[in-house]
Amino acid sequence: MRRSTLGTLATAALLLAACSDVPDGAVEAQALECPPGEEGCDDIQPVGPGGSMEVEMGNFYFEVTETAAVTGEVEITGINVSDAFHNLIVLGAAEGSEIVEADGGEEDTATVNVFAGEWTIICDVPGHRAAGMESTITVYATEEELENAQEMGETDVDRDQELDPAAG
């Protein structure tokens, strides 16, 4: 189990062991809640200071431009730099989590409750995910971990600057 390598999540992982697997799309991240109706599962919410991140949405890519995402309530701002509608959905986040939706040239902010880990984001406008609007975002366990990643140049922002999807 890859998620067991996330030491700080060990307890949560044990508590969730009786539940179904992490939902589709969540990579090394905990499901936010047990599937509704499943026996022996308590809802587990991420506890942490939360944070924020900014993601540029274009034809057809996501580029993380700012990140301060720590487990808890993470506010995601999507900035649509194209002239078409795009959205941003965090796969595996709790049902009912808001999603970012923005017409061309607009921006939108939504809050998701997420555990530390790596989460898949997509735009679910038909065809957009296949065209390239799929990426991952990293949510850190602590502010210290986030700062370390920033010092090491290993954040999503560093990754995306290297890939420079906008230039592609």
Q: What is the DSSP string of 25-48?
A: TEES---SSPPTT-TT-------S
Which CB atom, from 53 or from 123, has the smaller least distance to Cu ion? 123
Site mask, Cu ion, residues 73-92, x = CB under 5 A?
-------------x------
Is residue 6 left, alpha or beta, with left meaning phi > 0 and alpha meaning psi from -120 to 50? beta
- For position 3 contacting Cu ion by CB under 5 A, the verdict is no
Which CB atom, from 3 or from 128, has the smaller least distance to Cu ion? 128
Tokens of 106: 């607009």
Query: How many amino acids of this chain bind Cu ion (CB under 5 A)?
Result: 5
Residue 87 C-beta: closest distance to Cu ion, Å: 6
- CA torsion sign for 68, 70, 73, 74 is positive
- For position 13 contacting Cu ion by CB under 5 A, the verdict is no
Site mask, Cu ion, residues 99-138, x = CB under 5 A?
------------------------x-x--x----x-----
Adjacent-strand bridge partners of 101: 87
Q: How many CB atoms lie within 10 A of CB 20?
A: 11
Binding site for Cu ion (CB under 5 A): 86, 123, 125, 128, 133
